[in-house]
């Protein structure tokens, strides 16, 4: 790994985009080597005694070695395959162990949309270290960000910032997968989801389904929600609404026929629910999408 970092300028277009990158880099620190490098600008350089405060987020990914991170909430061990997150306006300091050194990949970023993504419960200065392990997807995200920032071609900030969102998605996804790795409940959830997709209009007694798989319903519901981010009932309802949208656009069936076919309690319940979720009632949704499709057709 080479030592390479780049501090970037941001224009109004980058800031208005909602996510922008301030710095991206890699560093290979040998055992007993001085850390951090004296080549960092004053706003980023720090010494161990004083630490520092940044006005941006930073995500450091350690691919080799070991070190420690400290902030006002405590001291944390950082090992190979760990990410640690620095938060704006939070005092911190970190360094590799002298006997091991470390290899780090880091990005610094900010923006209004970044704030929204970083408000996810997984990201907290009270638990700043996330143990993802060595993941090809994470390394690849960093490498692509480095490539964009190194070349600085027009619009690079917009594309590289998208890679940050992708990186955050990977981190959350890998964390969610930890609760299912090697567990039978993951297979049970997949089987239930497949059943629902195969017969969207069906009615399911979810407690009986859980019982058939020898799983307690409370545990099944809790793990299903963790797996899909919604309860089993809401998941089934979303499938019905997706199918309803397809039928509204691709068939000439009446609203009542669609409602009955998908097993809704009544046309009124279906219409009210559809409008609540989509912002339009079924008739409005059908007219809007058919009109848009006609507009997009090429002229003869």
Mean pLDDT of 226-239: 90
Mean pLDDT of 80-105: 96
Mean pLDDT of 22-28: 93
Return the pLDDT at 228.
Answer: 86
Mean pLDDT of 101-113: 96
Return the pLDDT at 32.
Answer: 93
Place of tokens 């490539």: 147
Return the pLDDT at 41.
Answer: 77
> Is the pTM for the entire model greater than 0.75?
no
Return the pLDDT at 300.
Answer: 47
Return the pLDDT at 178.
Answer: 78
- Pair 101, 65: CB distance under 8 Å: yes
Q: Count CB-CB contacts under 10 A for residue 116.
A: 11
Mean pLDDT of 160-172: 94
What integer best gives the mean pLDDT of the chain?
90
Q: How confident is the model at residue 9 (pLDDT cuts 50, 70, 90)?
A: confident
For residue 279, give Cα distances in angstroms to 273, 274, 276, 292.
10, 8, 6, 17
Return the pLDDT at 297.
Answer: 46
pLDDT at 1 over 60: no
Place of tokens 């880099």: 25
Return the pLDDT at 294.
Answer: 58
DSSP three-state, residue 259:
helix
Return the pLDDT at 227.
Answer: 85
Pick from 228, 237, 224, 250: which is nearest to 278 by CA?
Answer: 237
DSSP secondary structure of 184-203 = HHHHHHHHHHHHHHHTTT--
Mean pLDDT of 163-167: 95
* Residues 4, 29: Cα–Cα separation, whole Å: 12
pLDDT at 122 over 90: yes
DSSP three-state, residue 2:
coil
* % pLDDT > 90, the chain: 66
For residue 218, give Cα distances in angstroms to 124, 179, 209, 225.
28, 16, 12, 11
- Pair 57, 110: CB distance under 8 Å: yes
Mean pLDDT of 115-123: 95
Return the pLDDT at 179.
Answer: 67
Among 167-171, 228-232, 255-259, 292-296, the minimum mean pLDDT is found in: 292-296
């Amino acid at each position: 790994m080479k030592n390479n970092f780049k501090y970037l300028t941001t224009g109004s277009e980058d800031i208005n985009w909602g996510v922008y990158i301030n710095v991206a880099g890699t560093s290979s620190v040998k055992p007993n080597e001085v850390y951090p490098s004296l080549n960092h600008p004053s706003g980023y350089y720090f010494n161990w005694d004083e630490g520092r405060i940044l006005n941006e987020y930073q995500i450091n990914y350690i691919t080799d070695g070991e070190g420690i991170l400290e902030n006002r909430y405590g001291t944390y061990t950082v090992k190979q395959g760990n990410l640690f997150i620095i938060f704006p306006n939070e005092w911190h300091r970190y360094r590799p162990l002298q006997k091991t050194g470390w290899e780090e990949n880091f990005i610094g970023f900010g923006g209004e949309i970044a704030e929204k993504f970083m408000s996810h419960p997984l990201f907290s200065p009270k638990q700043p270290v996330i143990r993802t392990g060595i993941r090809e997807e994470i390394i690849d995200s960093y490498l692509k960000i480095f490539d964009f920032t190194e070349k600085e071609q027009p619009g690079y900030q917009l594309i590289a910032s998208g890679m940050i969102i992708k990186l955050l998605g990977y981190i959350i996804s890998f964390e969610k997968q930890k609760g299912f790795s090697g567990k039978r409940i993951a297979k049970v959830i997949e089987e239930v989801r497949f059943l629902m997709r195969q017969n969207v209009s069906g009615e399911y007694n979810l407690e009986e389904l859980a019982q058939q798989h020898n799983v307690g319903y409370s545990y099944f519901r809790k793990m299903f929600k963790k797996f899909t981010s919604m309860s089993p009932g809401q998941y089934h309802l979303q499938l019905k609404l997706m199918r309803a949208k397809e039928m509204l656009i691709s068939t000439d069936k009446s609203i009542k026929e669609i409602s009955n076919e998908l097993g809704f309690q009544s046309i009124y319940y279906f219409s009210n629910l559809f409008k609540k979720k989509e912002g339009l009632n079924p008739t409005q949704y059908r007219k809007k999408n058919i009109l848009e499709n006609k507009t997009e057709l090429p002229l003869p």
